[in-house]
Amino acid sequence: MRRMWSRVLVVLAVLGGIVAAPAVPVMAATPQERGALRDSLAALAPVGSSAVIDPATGEVVVRVAGAASLQFRATAARHRPVRTVNAEQPVRTNAILIGGQAMNSLDGRICSTGLITKHGSIFYVVTAGHCVAGALSPWFGPGGGMIGPEKSAHFPDNDFGLLRVSDVTPYQLRSQVAWETGSVLIGAVADVAVGAPVCKTGRTTGTTCGTVLAKDATWHYPDGVVYGLIETDVCAGPGDSGAPLVSLGGGYTSRSRHGAFGILSGSNNNTCGAPGYRSAFQPLPEVMSFHSLVLPI
């Protein structure tokens, strides 16, 4: 009778799904297999994690940054030899995100970063509104690293937009703009006078300089009218939209002689340097005030 009941219990347990044979661990025996396992676990781990093969033990050691997904934990559990530890600090590239660099939307729209700003603890990239409006987020910066999604877009009437810098961006953020082969620190956002010498840096035409010719200009683009623009003879080309307009010097703070005035809105498509060439910039003080932004310096 006891044997009969034990058979019944085994059958019921199997039918009820409460008895399962333990999964056989998947062994990574060769260096090639362990290398593949290292790479797959690093890809499944949270952003900021890293993985190496311990030369002393041969284990795949994954330094996990943050909360790991169920998929990562399950994959790590069924493979051998794997050891997971908490990362002391998340890894990141040393790339610096500044104004005047190339950026691309998810659907391939090309523009330029304008200025790195901050509201509270959140960082934003100011750029041209016509770049951001209607584009697919997120946006990507130099080297293809993610900047983040659209925060807002104002166009027409005005021409400025914000990208919210993602919490997992690989970039270090600086209050600088590209300048020829280097960069300059921006000490303040300010108004600019007619006749002032200015420069801009964008992805297409690089650093170009000229003079402020007029203020409060109104430009009628095919997509609508934009008011209150700074008009200059500074050379700009397609893809430069959003590029920062900055001073050649002027003692804006004790840390920097350079100030930022605007971000590129457009040009009249004439040849750079030809008589009648014009480019237009959205004033930055208005943008900073509207979104309560400050420079993160």
* Domain membership flag for residue 17: no
pLDDT digits (tens, 9 = 90+) for 160-182: 999 999 988 889 999 999 998 88
* Domain membership flag for residue 11: no
Indicate whether 61 and 178 sit together in one domain: no
Hey, what are 290's tokens?
Answer: 């509207």
Tokens 């095919």: give the residue: 222
d(CA 88, CA 264) in angstroms, rounded, equals: 41
Which residue among 112, 166, 175, 241 is the active-site one? 241
Hey, what are 24's tokens?
Answer: 């056989």
pLDDT digits (tens, 9 = 90+) for 242-257: 999 999 777 676 677 7
Predicted pLDDT at 93: 63
The count of structural domains within the chain is: 2
d(CA 281, CA 112) in angstroms, rounded, equals: 13
Residues 217/223/224/229 CA torsion (nearest 10 deg): -20
Q: Is 130 a catalytic residue?
A: yes
Contact 37, 28 (CB under 8 A): yes
Q: Is 258 a catalytic residue?
A: no
d(CA 175, CA 184) in angstroms, rounded, equals: 9
* Domain membership flag for residue 91: no
d(CA 274, CA 10) in angstroms, rounded, equals: 91
Indicate whether 123 and 148 sit together in one domain: yes
Q: Crossing angle for the helix pair 31-44 and 70-77, nearest 10 degrees?
A: 160
Domain final position from 59, 86, 113: 86
pLDDT digits (tens, 9 = 90+) for 99-114: 999 999 999 999 999 9
Predicted pLDDT at 20: 52
Indicate whether 128 and 219 sit together in one domain: yes
Indicate whether 37 and 164 sit together in one domain: no
Hey, what are 214's tokens?
Answer: 């007029």
Indicate whether 136 and 283 sit together in one domain: yes
Indicate whether 31 and 151 sit together in one domain: no
pLDDT digits (tens, 9 = 90+) for 113-165: 999 999 999 999 999 999 999 999 999 998 888 999 999 999 999 999 999 99
Which residue among 105, 112, 159, 175 is the active-site one? 159
Domain final position from 35, 56, 86: 86
The CATH number of the domain where 186 resides is what?
Answer: 2.40.10.10
Q: What 3-state class would DSSP assign to 55?
A: coil
* Domain membership flag for residue 65: yes
* Domain membership flag for residue 270: yes
Indicate whether 104 and 146 sit together in one domain: yes
Indicate whether 118 and 75 sit together in one domain: no
Indicate whether 110 and 62 sit together in one domain: no
Indicate whether 31 and 147 sit together in one domain: no
Indicate whether 125 and 182 sit together in one domain: yes
pTM of the model: 0.72
Q: What 3-state class would DSSP assign to 191?
A: coil
* Domain membership flag for residue 15: no
Domain that holds residue 257: 96-291
